[in-house]
Chain A
Amino acid sequence: MIFKIEDVTVYFPYENIYPEQYEYMVELKRSLDAKGHCLLEMPTGTGKTIALLSLITSYRLSRPDSPIKLVYCTRTVHEMEKTLAELKLLHEYQVRHLGSQAKILAIGLSSRKNLCVNPKVLAAENRDSVDAACRKRTASWVRALSAENPNVELCDYFENYEKAAENALLPPGVYTLEDLRTFGKNRGWCPYFLARHMVQFANVIVYSYQYLLDPKVAGIISKELQKETVVVFDEAHNIDNVCIEALSVSVRRVTLEGANRNLNKIRQEIDRFKATDAGRLRAEYNRLVEGLALRGDLSGTDQWLANPALPHDILKEAVPGNIRRAEHFVHVLRRLLQYLGGRLDTDNVEKESPVSFVSSLNSQAGIEQKTLKFCYDRLQSLMLTLEITDTDDFLPIQTVCDFATLVGTYARGFSIIIEPYDERMPHIPDPILQLSCHDASLAIKPVFDRFQSVVITSGTLSPIDLYPRLLSFNPVVSRSFKMSMTRDCICPMVLTRGSDQLPVSTKFDMRSDPGVVRNYGKFLVEMVSIVPDGVVCFFVSYSYMDGIIATWNETGILKEIMQQKLVFIETQDVVETTLALDNYRRACDCGRGAVFFSVAR
């Protein structure tokens, strides 16, 4: 259907629209007009995605002289696929009604693992090894080397893409990850680099939160986005968690050992270079002396990860003298590793602020704060100079440098926590040092400042006025919508009392009460004897589920349940759970009936 909201003609690809979808679109349009941020809550299943997409694309169509870009952030790859599918439908509808002026370019962007079409690279097992295998074939020095040495293996798709240069363009349309792969395979171009290149030209980009919020990734992918962009965070109820995780680092013993190994390897490489091509190291030294920025003169494909600190917090100064030479830098890192190892050797839980940590680091290991701030950049430059391509092996040292940079840059909003034991296995010493960020607004502040409109939407944003305070921004619109109940939906019933009129709840303090456990058990037995086929029972946590099932077993309730139906329990092991789920389905289908105990996460 096509209708007007104030001055915007909205193209909605379905025949019917829910009243709450319409209101949602009106509020969204108003916040776009005001060029401000907004918080919108609408229950899941009411068609938020299509409402957002259709309004924003129609808004763009109605203002052709000031085109806006849409950046749609989702949590998982699956959600990305769903969004692109909806967008395809919408795009077809709009093109049908408006003709070719409605054509847009929409792409989904994900990691190399999801977009690579080179079978040899894809054979690597995890995301980091895929990245390393790709780098091995596409790094600029490798390509330079292959011109002389034909035995060096390159990636054909990347080579074709580079050859096509400016002609490497995607025709207008909506491209899911699958479509990108197909296109890349047909043309012989690398889909990943093509998609990254097309980010500047695309009208709609769909990717995951990390690409905007995590400074390490955002510095590479999203640095060229213009101001007139609408950023949508979908399913954003956990966005504060994502922001916090983006700026938190944890270091374990195993990390330190890996970092030591990495340093040894780097040392070997430095010695090798000193013997064969000392000029390269000297050139790097000169560059650092002149304070040339470590970003900017690198080709985009060589840059592997960006600085973990936020862009405006990165000091734009020359790298300090005590780490300009490669060997000195390695020494500094070794001292840092020793100090961290010493700190991990503790028996109590310790908590410290970054300032005191840095000062004790200074007094014990002689490393200044300014040195720490440049750790990351220096490591980056060193690895490029040494032409290291096995980036997946060097993750530990990179983690340590991340840690050092963050702890040197930020004084407020972080703390350092050292725990001697892992909480899951309290008897085995496995110390962990965590730099945790407390302030969710740190990571998202650049997004709010940089872009014209940020839309935070979810099905569950209550309490909604908490978010502006958490993320420290001022929304122009902050609204919650209700779902209209004229359609078939599942209506939940909340049980507050058991059959003997005792109040029941899964609150933490009431969990171990035998009356509550018995009431829940009796309730489940009654349900199981009346409901045919399958029953699914969700618990709050694994520990609660284990405890309550053990109690039910002792009191004989579990036996009564098993007389009526078979019992399947979810565990934390994926294979076991998949097997249990499969058998549960078979039991329901063949009439035996089953109960599935699982955890709602």
Chain B
Amino acid sequence: MAASISGLLKPWTPSVFLVRWSRYNPYYLEPEVSKEAYSRPETELSAEEKEQRELKALRPIKAATSGVTSSVFDDPVISKFINMMMEHGNKVLAREIMTQTLENIKKKQVEKYHKASEGEREVIECNPYTIFHQALENCKPVVGLASIQKGGKYYQVPIPLTDNRRRFLAMKWMITECQDNKHRRTHMYEKLSQELLAAFGKEGNVIKKKYELHKMAEANRAYAHYRWW
């Protein structure tokens, strides 16, 4: 849709330069942050990619948000999680909590690794990033419920979820669980690391919540035909 509109539009530069707004003229292109994308030589690119490169020389490009970096350690999932944890725009605090969580997870696992015997060492996963991604995968629900009105009553109907929605639900459950249902004197990074390690091992309250949602969806299977999309 954006492509057809941009075909009709004439090239224009705005009188006021847009910085960091989320609503852009569809004429604008997305920024490419990673260094590898630019280091590939001409020969390796396909025709479309060559066309894209030429277009970048002509069209204006959206401003990159402050959450993306060209660092090799940049991870979009972790950035999304930090944004969801952030309150009142305090990104510094949210990032601090995330880094402390990762360090805490790694500390616990490395300590276990060094104290374990040779045979047990292969099983212990020390990388906090794989633990985070795997825990989030384990928390993602497969089907969700939607409230659909039929004949004056509202029914909870099982529906398929998009990938973005599933990831959002997993992260939201994780954060609310840690904020509400833990002992009040523990730090957030401590609560998060405990919950993430439990989810990695397919136990804990968030996994339980996912299973309950699945059970509800299974129970309401009869109403699945109420969905019209």
Q: Do A and B interact? A: no
